[in-house]
């Protein structure tokens, strides 16, 4: 039974509650099979979409090595994803023909858990380097591909998660604990429940664990997560229009400060700088190094530029394009002029020598604009359009010899000349 090639998703959707389980674990899987029934879902899949997942899952990784022969044989490790962003690595000791998107039963303590295979082959070794487990010897094994019986138990466990979360929040409030239970995840066999909570400080939840174990009759595990991790588990879209980084690819969270916003000349508005987790956006750290390096090539903001036209003070700068805008007033925008950083450095060097350029902009100094005297423009018809006479074009003929010759004009007679004279 362990080497079954039948797709467990198809078997699960054929039974009553197992169909709900497949929809809960792998959203979009059942609809994918219905919308395109002609495509093979299980067994030998096409090479064109092996690296793509069968469902839209969080922290998805495109397996670009899926089409390479003997890629799976490089290692027996597989990456398995559970609810939301929880992932784990397991040994495929039974050498099952696993591919991305297969639902498997894996070893857990106690019992077994149900998850979806997200990576196989050489990419698993690269992922382990990014997020290594605490102890490589503690990596558990893959039991089998999920059976209909496993999916039925999994569906029953998942159906209790929402009610368990609501009830656990009430219990925590009755015990006076300053914590927020954000999510509850049941194990595949229903013998264990993981409670994810958020708290500003340390919480003594020993009494809470006893009460939860008595009420729900399962093994309790408490996991503290941060605001960014909670946003990644829930998911959503950022102001850029893309999915949240903590949902799609980010696992390690680095502290973000307002210094990164100052380096990039961003408005220090908390509503614009905060993400869905109510913390500073992680993307502010992505380009801060480039801004710091580029800002070193700009002159100091405290230095004023002396020219023949007056004194100019720093107003704003486009750091990446190396363009600086100066103003004749320190506080307000007056007579703004934008020059390059190289031109600003030249003016600073001239000021140190005691010289003042004619103008802030070098091109403006070369091109002297003369005033236009409107009184000198005496031509009142300068705006009138001249009409050009159209010349009649002669129609071309095939043979000029065939054209009738024009008869010569007859000269008027003497009588006609006398009549005209009279």
pLDDT tens figures, 147-204: 999 999 999 999 999 999 999 999 999 999 989 999 999 999 999 999 999 998 888 8
Residues 202-219, mean pLDDT to the nearest whole number: 91
**Average confidence (pLDDT) over 101-116:** 91
The dihedrals phi and psi of 115, each to the nearest 5 degrees, come to: -145, 180
Where does the pLDDT of residue 389 fall: very low under 50, low under 70, confident under 90, or very high at 90 and above? low
Share of the chain above pLDDT 90, in %: 34
| Strands laid side by side in the 323-327 sheet | 305-306, 311-318, 323-327, 337-340
**Separation CA 283–CA 137 (nearest Å):** 35
| pLDDT of 15 strictly over 60 | no
Residue 128: is its pLDDT beyond 80? yes
Does the pTM exceed 0.75?
Answer: no
Q: Are 218 and 153 in contact (CB under 8 A)?
A: no
Please give the Cα distance from 281 to 267 (Å, whole number).
Answer: 13
Q: Tokens 């750091």 — which residue?
A: 319
Report which DSSP code applies to 374.
Answer: G
* pLDDT score, position 57: 64
Six-digit token string for 413: 């007679």
Residue 319 has a CB neighbour count (10 Å cut-off) of: 20
Q: What is the pLDDT of residue 149?
A: 93
For residue 260, the tally of other CB atoms under 10 A from its CB is 21
Q: What is the pLDDT of residue 50?
A: 60
Look at 252 and 42; give whichever has higher pLDDT.
252
Q: Average pLDDT over the chain, rounded to whole?
A: 79
pLDDT attached to residue 194? 93
Q: Above 60 in pLDDT, residue 418?
A: yes
Of the two residues 42 and 365, the one the predictor is more confident about is 365
| Phi-psi label, residue 222: left if phi above 0, alpha if psi -120 to 50, beta otherwise | beta
Residue 22 and residue 12 in contact, taking contact as beta carbons nearer than 8 Å: yes
pLDDT of residue 404: 53
Strand bridging mode 192-198 / 219-224: parallel
Sequence-ordered list of residues with C-beta below 8 angstroms from that of 198, at least 6 positions apart, any chain: 179, 180, 182, 224, 225, 226, 227, 230
Omega before 361 within 30 of 0, i.e. cis: no
Say how many Å lie between the first and final Cα of the chain, rounded.
133
Question: For 335-372, what is each residue's pLDDT tens digit?
Answer: 898 999 999 999 999 999 988 888 888 765 455 455 55
Judged against a pLDDT cut of 50, whether residue 272 lies above it is answered with: yes
**pLDDT (tens digit per residue) in 371-381:** 555 555 556 56
> Which of 95-104, 320-329, 379-388, 391-400 is least confident?
391-400
Q: 214 and 204 in contact (C-beta within 8 Å)?
A: no
Q: What CATH class has 160-229? A: alpha beta
Average pLDDT over residues 392-397: 59
Phi and psi (nearest 5°) for 348? -65, -40
**Residue 226 to residue 405: CA distance in whole angstroms:** 104
Domain boundaries along the sequence of the chain: 8-156, 160-229, 254-294, 305-365
Q: Reply yes or no on whether the pLDDT at 111 is more than 70.
A: yes
What does the pLDDT read at residue 383? 63
User: Would you say residue 83 has pLDDT above 70?
Assistant: yes
CA–CA gap between residue 422 and residue 418 (Å, rounded): 6
pLDDT at 22: 37
Contacts of 158 (CB under 8 A, 6+ apart): 21, 24, 25, 186
| Strand 77-81 to 112-120 pairing | antiparallel
3 state DSSP class of 284: helix
Q: How many helices (H) and strands (E) does the chain have?
A: 15, 12
Question: What average pLDDT does this structure show over 240-245?
Answer: 89
Is the pLDDT at 41 greater than 90? The verdict is no
């Amino acid at each position: 039974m362990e080497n079954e090639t039948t797709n467990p998703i198809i078997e699960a959707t054929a039974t009553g509650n197992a169909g709900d389980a497949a929809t809960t674990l792998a959203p979009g899987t059942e609809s994918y099979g219905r919308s395109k029934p002609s495509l093979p879902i299980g067994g030998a899949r096409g090479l064109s979409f092996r690296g793509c997942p069968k469902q839209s899952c969080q922290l998805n990784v495109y397996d670009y090595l899926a089409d390479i022969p003997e890629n799976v044989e490089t290692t027996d490790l597989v990456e398995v994803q559970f609810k939301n962003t929880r992932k784990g690595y397991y040994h495929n000791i039974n050498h099952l023909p696993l591919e991305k998107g297969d639902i498997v039963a894996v070893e857990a303590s106690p019992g077994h858990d149900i998850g979806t295979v997200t990576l196989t082959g050489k990419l698993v070794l690269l992922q382990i380097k990014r997020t290594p487990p605490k102890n490589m010897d503690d990596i558990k094994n893959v039991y089998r591909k999920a059976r209909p019986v496993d999916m039925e138990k999994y569906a029953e466990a998942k159906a209790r998660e929402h009610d368990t979360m609501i009830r656990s929040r009430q219990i925590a409030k009755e015990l006076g604990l300053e914590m927020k239970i954000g999510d509850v995840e049941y194990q595949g066999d229903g013998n264990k429940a993981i409670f994810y909570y958020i708290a500003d400080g340390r919480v003594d939840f020993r009494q809470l664990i006893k009460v939860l174990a008595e009420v729900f009759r399962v093994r309790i595990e408490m996991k503290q997560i941060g605001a960014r991790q909670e946003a990644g588990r829930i998911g959503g879209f950022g102001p850029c229009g893309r999915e949240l980084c903590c949902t799609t690819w980010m696992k390690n969270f680095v502290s973000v400060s307002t210094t990164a916003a100052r380096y990039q000349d961003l408005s220090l508005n908390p509503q614009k700088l905060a993400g869905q987790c109510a913390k500073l956006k992680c993307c502010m750290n992505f380009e801060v190094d480039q801004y710091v390096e580029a800002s070193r090539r700009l002159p100091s903001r405290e230095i004023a530029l002396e020219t023949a036209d007056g004194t100019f003070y720093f107003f704003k700068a486009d750091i990446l394009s190396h363009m600086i805008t100066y103003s004749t007033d320190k506080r307000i925008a007056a007579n703004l002029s934008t020059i390059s950083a190289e031109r600003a450095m030249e003016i600073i060097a001239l000021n140190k020598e005691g010289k003042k350029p004619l103008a802030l902009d070098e091109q403006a100094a070369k091109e002297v604009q003369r005033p236009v005297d409107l009184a000198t423009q005496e031509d009142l018809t300068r705006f009138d359009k001249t009409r050009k006479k159209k010349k009649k074009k002669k129609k071309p003929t095939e043979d000029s010899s065939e054209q009738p010759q024009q008869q010569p004009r007859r000269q008027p007679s003497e009588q006609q000349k006398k009549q005209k004279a009279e």
